[in-house]
Chain A
Amino acid sequence: MLIRLENITKTYELAKQEFTVLNNISLNIAEGDFVGIMGRSGSGKSTLVNLIGFLDKKFKGTYYFEDKLVEQYTDDALSKIRNENVGFVFQNFGLIENMTVGQNVELPLLYAGISNQEKTRLVAESLEKVGLADFVGQSVKLLSGGQRQRVAIARAIVNSPKFIIADEPTGALDSKTSVDIMQLFTDLNTTSGVTIILVTHDPNLMAYCNREIRVSDGEVVL
């Protein structure tokens, strides 16, 4: 099993009051899954994927990643795990504006310490997959929303991660572009076998997923 969560509880304190964001969540995600995590805003779905994506390690319960316990890792170790295993696609694209498309895509490789030659090859390869083969030297500033999200996806897959977390990837895109992007995810899932965890509040997107996890008030309801 790729990801196994057991009795995960996450609380935070605000004005001396304790709020529970995630309450006793248990779930499994297998390799090759296209999981859709559904829920209204404030349901705790983003907190859940942050936790799954090793961005947040302050929680109660046990998280097994590839059957290894996660919470004992240090911050540096988690950075390394993120670098090797997770690709993130954010609603607001998460691109560095003043860098070129190529520089954005190669970021994970930069921190992985991969040689220049290999880097160029991998960047070209992953840009090819998202259909932006000629955009390597292009400035991010000039791209449309759909193109930006493609760049973000190219960055997410450039280091061949174990899974991709896509947090509202179509939230800032029009419906036509959204379809294109979702098609891209589906292609990556079916042809390259990439595990995808899609977070959304839009029920229409569930059609693309082969599994659905519904989150409401910090609990898995489906």
Chain B
Amino acid sequence: MNLRAVIKNAYQALRQNTRRSILTMLGIVIGIASVITILSLGRGFETYTVKNLTATNEKNVAVDIVFSPSDYEQFESNKMRYFSDEDLKFIGQIEGVEKVAYVKADDKFLRIDLQAADKKISKNLGFVAGGKDAVEVGRTISRDDIETHQKVAIISRDTAKDVNPDVNKVLGTGIDIKGELYQIVGIYKGGTANLFDMTPDVKIPKTTYQYYANSEGNPTQIKVTIANDYKPSKVAQKVIKKLEKVGISRNFGEYSTFDMSSLTDGIGKVLKMLTFFISGIAGISLFIAGVGVMNMMYTSVSERVKEIGVRRSVGAKRRDIRNQFLVEGLMLTISAGVIGYIIGYLVALVISIFLPFKVSPDLFTISLTLVITIVIGLVFSITPANMAARKDLVEILR
């Protein structure tokens, strides 16, 4: 019996009992749709998160080497260097290092400690744009202040309250920022108390900060770009060893590395696990739907005992009968899987409109759907199909 005839046959048999077929398929459709929705969203979220964590768009992997001095004061006041040009030259000679460069300190946001009344409080330090920052009390920092490196600061109302409960008395007093005294000239509204709100609590002119804090030109980090085919962690270790021997400030602190890729790998893995876990739970519904398929196949077999007898008597072999019912089961589950995939994908697509990432159909989810539906079709149809094939011919023709 050729395949086309078998498939045509199975289609007719399923159409014969359209309502029962559709109801059985519904279970599979719902199961597949929920798994695909979760998987699509999960994978979209995973790529989105990992992409955001990996700031660089460079093809090669880069690792950052950080120098942590044992005594910060020494470096601040004595103007000692964390890394020297010689250090970079030495590192450049290490095997597996493609490029090495200073990391410019990200001056957008800094954490500073303020002495308020009797306790230390941690605040975000930001820089003014120059005359544009609105204040509630006092004056804002002008372009002149910025150009002439004036030690002036504007602070948020919340910060002012921390310094002195009587906000009006704060104006004109000084605050200590990294060892320098800045005069508070204005108070602005400030951001909310949200943990993730990055609105600075204290704003000062950037030029002034750089002039006194001397952070530019003395980076605490270097970025080592790893050549292809080298393991980032190994090369980073070599770099650190080298620095510990020849680094300019090797006696005044420690070198360490912060490997971003391992972090993103880890987060990616956790997200993946989470996605699979939730999909697994959704997959339980698929199992139940599979039992529904089995139930239907058993009913179908016992309803069609006469047909089985007729087919066998005209020359159908046992495997012809078994294949007939297997193909029916497979056709049911695979078509339900295809419908479920489309629905699941569409649902994910609609949900993703409200989310910052895109979902796209990929080979993995498509092949997963196929594999799951084929497995369900086979597993839950094989016993009814075998039962049909094993029926005693003389018994059923009686």
Provide the residues of chain A in CB contact with B310, threshold 8 Å. 94-96, 107
The verdict on A45 contacting chain B, using a C-beta distance below 8 Å, is no
Q: Are B313 and A55 in contact (CB under 8 A)?
A: yes
Q: Are B2 and A113 in contact (CB under 8 A)?
A: yes
Q: Are A111 and B307 in contact (CB-based, < 8 A)?
A: no
B115 to chain A, nearest CB (A): 90
Looking at the assembled complex, report how far the CB atom of B395 sits from the nearest CB atom of chain A, in whole angstroms: 10
Q: Counting CB contacts under 8 A, is B55 at the interface?
A: no
- Of the candidates B307, B309, B317, the one whose C-beta lies within 8 Å of that of A76 is B317
- Bound complex: CA of A98 vs CA of B303, how far in Å? 13
**In the assembled complex, which residues on chain A have CB atoms less than 8 Å from the CB atom of B13?**
98
Confirm or deny: B311 has a beta carbon within 8 angstroms of a beta carbon on chain A. yes
Residues from chain B with a CB closer than 8 A to the CB of A53 are: 313
> A112 to B316, alpha carbons, bound, how many Å?
9
State which of A79, A90, A96 has its C-beta within 8 Å of the C-beta of B312: A79
Q: Does B320 contact A (CB under 8 A)?
A: yes
Q: Decide: A56 near B393, CB < 8 A? Known: A96-B310, A99-B12.
A: yes
Q: Are A75 and B313 in contact (CB under 8 A)?
A: no
Contact check: which of A75, A99, A108 meets B314 at CB < 8 Å? A108
Write out, one digit per residue, whether chain A residues 111-123 have a CB within 8 A of any chain B CB (1) or not (0). 1110000000000
In the bound complex, how far is the Cα of B311 from the Cα of A50, in angstroms? 15
Tell whether, in the assembled complex, residue A108 and residue B315 are in contact, meaning their CB atoms are under 8 Å apart: yes
Alpha-carbon distance A109/B367, docked complex (angstroms): 37
The answer to whether A94 and B309 have CB atoms under 8 Å apart is yes
Contact B315 A111 (CB under 8 A): yes
Candidate in B5, B16, B314, B320 with the most chain A CB atoms within 10 angstroms = B314
Residues of B near A50 (CB, < 8 A) are 394, 397
Chain B hits for A84, CB < 8 A: 315
Within the complex, the shortest CB–CB distance from B119 to chain A, in Å, comes to: 86
Q: Does B315 contact A82, Cβ atoms closer than 8 Å?
A: yes
Tell me if B149 counts as interface (CB < 8 A to partner A): no
State the interface size on chain B (CB cutoff 8 A): 23
Contacts of A107 in B (CB 8 A): 310-311, 314
Interface residues of B in 298-351 (CB under 8 A from A): 306-307, 309-320
In chain A, what residue has the closest Cβ to B319?
A: A76
Interface check B353, CB cutoff 8 A: no
Q: In the complex the two chains form, what is the Cα distance from A138 to B1 in whole Å? A: 23
Q: Smallest Cβ distance from A212 to chain B, in angstroms?
A: 24
B313 A88 Cβ-Cβ under 8 A: yes
Chain A residues contacting B5 (CB-CB under 8 Å) are 110
In Å, the complex CA distance between A110 and B313 comes to 13
List residues of B (51-86) whose CB comes within 8 Å of A's CBs: none
Distance A41 CA – B71 CA, assembled complex (angstroms):
111
Which A residues from 17 to 70 make CB contacts under 8 A with B?
50, 53, 55-56
Residues of chain B with a CB closer than 8 A to A79's CB: 312, 315-318, 320
Give the size of the chain A interface in residues (CB under 8 angstroms): 25
Complex alpha-carbon distance, A90 and B317, angstroms = 20
Q: Whole-angstrom distance between the alpha carbons of A76 and B312 in the complex?
A: 10
Q: Complex formed: what's the CA distance from A107 to B1 in Å? A: 10
Q: Min CB distance, A79 to chain B, in Å?
A: 4
Residues from chain A with Cβ under 8 Å of B312 in the complex: 79
Inter-subunit contact A113/B315 (CB<8 Å): no
How far apart are the CA atoms of A56 and B320 in the complex, in Å?
19
Q: CA separation between A83 and B314, bound complex, in Å?
A: 5
CA gap between A30 and B299 in the complex, in Å = 44
Instruction: Please tell me if the beta carbons of B317 and A113 are within 8 angstroms of each other in the complex.
Output: no
Judge whether A80 is part of the interface by a CB distance below 8 angstroms.
Answer: yes
Please indicate the chain B residues that have their CB under 8 angstroms from the CB of A111 in the complex: 1, 311, 314-317, 320
In contact, A90 and B397 (Cβ under 8 angstroms): yes
Contact A55 B314, beta carbon cutoff 8 Å: no
User: Are B394 and A82 interface neighbours, CB within 8 A?
Assistant: no
CB-CB under 8 A from A150, the residues of chain B are none
* A75–B2 touching, CB < 8 Å: no
Complex interface: chain B residues within 8 A of A80 (CB)? 315, 317
B1 touches A75 (CB 8 A): no
Chain B nearest CB from A138 CB (Å) reads 15
| CB of B54 to closest CB in A, whole Å | 59
Contact of A55 among B1, B317, B318, B393 (CB under 8 A): B393
Q: How far is the CB of A53 from chain B (nearest CB, A)?
A: 8
| Chain B residues positioned under 8 Å from A99 (CB to CB) | 12
For window 63-112 of B, CB contacts with A under 8 Å fall at none
Most chain A beta-carbon contacts within 10 A, residue among B315, B316, B317, B393 = B315
A201 at the interface (CB under 8 A from B): no
Q: Residue B313 contacts which of A76, A94, A112, A113 (CB distance < 8 angstroms)? A: A94
List, sorted by A's number, 16 A–B pairs whose CB atoms are closer than 8 Å.
A50-B397, A55-B393, A56-B393, A76-B318, A79-B320, A88-B314, A94-B306, A95-B310, A96-B310, A96-B311, A98-B13, A107-B310, A107-B311, A110-B1, A111-B316, A113-B1
The list of the 10 closest CB pairs from A to B, nearest first, reads A83-B315, A111-B315, A108-B314, A79-B317, A94-B310, A98-B16, A56-B394, A76-B317, A107-B314, A88-B313
